[in-house]
Amino acid sequence: MTDVRQGPGGGRSSSDDWSQATVQSTSGTSAGGGGHRRRGGPAQRAAVSAPSGTRLSMVQLILIEIAAASVVCGLAAKHGWPVIGIAIGAVFVLLGLIPAQRRWLYQVLSSRLRLTARRRGQRRFTGLASLAGPYRVLDVAPSGSTPIAVIQAGLTWALPLELRQDSVFNDDVAVPLDGFTSLLTIEDVNLASVRLLNIVTPAVVPASAPTVPTPLLPRGATRYCVLTLDTILAAGALADRGGSDAAIAQILRRCAMRAEEVLGSSRLRVQPMDEPAAHRVLDNCLGPAARTADPAAAATVESGGNIRIGGTYSATVAVGDGSATAALGKLAEVAPYLPGRVAATALVLTPDRHRGGAEATLLVRVSEPAEGNAGDLGARLRKVLGDTGLTVQRLDGEQGELLRATTPLGLSDGVV
């Protein structure tokens, strides 16, 4: 695992009665000031928990207005319409004001609708391609230079950078959260997201072990900084550079240089990957798959709380504990005891394009071969995290979106 260090403007959390699935943060280096809860984007939509009853979102206000209009129209029409109008209004009020699973009911319903739409696309491809469509790994470095591998999937280009480990005891330099936030804008290019991705191989814990034993060192841990360029969001900057693939390659090379400059100032060793290394990360980020001769087992099957991809079973939750530092600190201690063969954490930083600043969402995913008792993987994950005192947001209907956020694939608005 890794440590995250915040600047003086550090994380803030709401004092609501509701658990906050997102980790709020401000940054002295980000344009636009402090962080705010974001309403767009796959990871952020999924991780939003129900706000306090004194502050309604725009969607809730619209639902209440529709409910009021239905009642008024029904009363004005008379002849039996008042009952219909009141019934319709009651439905919209329930959707906007009734909580379910720490979210509002309309959020749960929209998650289920997106899940239904996503299942149709998942039938067309297998593996990670079922989440992002066909993808390819390219080298955008000039000939003779150090390789810079990027992952292109649809309209997104992801640049994975390895944060090299400096100690066999995993006592590495802290990752500066402010530095990560500053990478959301590089020169005149606005990136779609910046992620701190940790992939850990948990230690095998006997069933008789206590719930939270003394932490052991993970058997293996790697960490990456993943920058995503969305060609739609960066259309203006691309047009200024000619709008070709060469312009995209130029931007990504500048992103790699800027990341090495910003994170290197904190004594982090940042290194771009070559094509074989990027393929290895993509192939191994979910861990080993169950061996089966049935071709149907390779198909992606996503349910409300888990997802099976190519013989590997995964479950993801959002975690909030007041600040990124506190939550990641506890996760580092409990990582060796998480269920499954592979555990991944993703600190997803995205710009708030309406209010400025940035928002961080902390996700935890565990994966193991789709065999045996893999079906209760999500329940075991929530139990272990809950026993440590971490606030866990169960997310139903977004497993495909969240799994993508915990892999090196690109992550942006409207891509899932």
pLDDT, position 278: 94
Query: What is the enclosing helix (H) or strand (E) of 365?
Result: strand 358-369
pLDDT at 64 over 50: yes
pLDDT, residue 197, reads 92
Return the minimum-mean-pLDDT range out of 4-8, 202-206, 357-361. 4-8
- Residue 211 has what pLDDT? 63
In the prediction, which pLDDT does 230 show?
Answer: 93
Q: Is the pLDDT of residue 293 over 90?
A: no
H/E run at residue 228: strand 220-230
Longest CA–CA span in the chain (Å) reads 81
Give the tens place of pLDDT for each residue, 243-269.
888 999 999 999 999 999 988 877 788
- What sign does the dihedral 404-410-413-416 (CA atoms) show? negative
Q: What percent of the chain has pLDDT over 70?
A: 75
197 or 2: which leads in pLDDT? 197
Kindly tell me if the per-residue pLDDT of 12 is higher than 80: no
Report whether 343 contacts 364 (CB < 8 A): yes
> Minimum mean pLDDT among 9-13, 125-129, 257-261, 374-378: which range?
9-13
Q: What pLDDT is recorded for position 322?
A: 57
Tell me what percent of the residues of the chain surpass a pLDDT of 90: 21
pLDDT-based confidence at residue 229 (cuts at 50, 70, 90): very high
Compare 336 and 5 and report the one with higher pLDDT: 336
Euclidean distance between CA atoms 154 and 20, whole angstroms: 32
Q: Read off the pLDDT band of 48 (50, 70, 90).
A: very low
Residue 406 confidence (pLDDT) above 90: yes
**Which residues sit opposite 366 in a β-bridge?**
315, 343
Angle between helices 105-122 and 81-97 (to 10 degrees): 80
pLDDT for residue 10? 37
pLDDT in tens, 98-141: 887 667 888 888 877 777 777 777 777 888 888 888 999 999 99
pLDDT value at residue 117:
73
Q: Is the pLDDT of residue 6 over 50?
A: no
At 30, list the tokens: 């980000």
pLDDT, residue 209, reads 66
pTM of the model: 0.77
At 136 the pLDDT is 94
Q: What is the average per-residue pLDDT within 384-394?
A: 83
Picking from 176, 148, 343, the residue whose alpha carbon sits closest to that of residue 266 is: 176
- Decide: 309 and 125 in contact? Cβ < 8 Å: no
pLDDT (0 to 100) of residue 248: 94
pLDDT of 125 reads: 82
Average pLDDT, the chain: 77
pLDDT digits (tens, 9 = 90+) for 163-197: 876 554 455 666 777 788 889 999 889 999 999 99
Given a cut of 80, whether residue 152 has pLDDT beyond it is yes
